[in-house]
Amino acid sequence: MRINTGSFLLFPISDLYLNAMAKVLFFGELKDISGHAELELTAGDLNALMNCLYEKWPDLKSKTILKAINQTVVEENSVLHAADEVALMPPFSGG
Domains of the chain from N-terminus onward = 16-89 (3.10.20.30)
pTM of the model: 0.77
| Per-residue pLDDT at 18 | 58
The burial class, CB within 10 Å (0-12 / 13-18 / 19+), for 53 is: buried
Contact 45, 80 (CB under 8 A): yes
In tens, the pLDDT along 23-80 reads: 999 999 999 999 999 999 999 999 999 999 999 999 999 999 999 999 999 999 999 9
- Residue 13: band (very low, low, confident or very high) from pLDDT cuts 50, 70, 90: very low
| Per-residue pLDDT at 17 | 45
Distance CA 84, CA 43 (A): 11
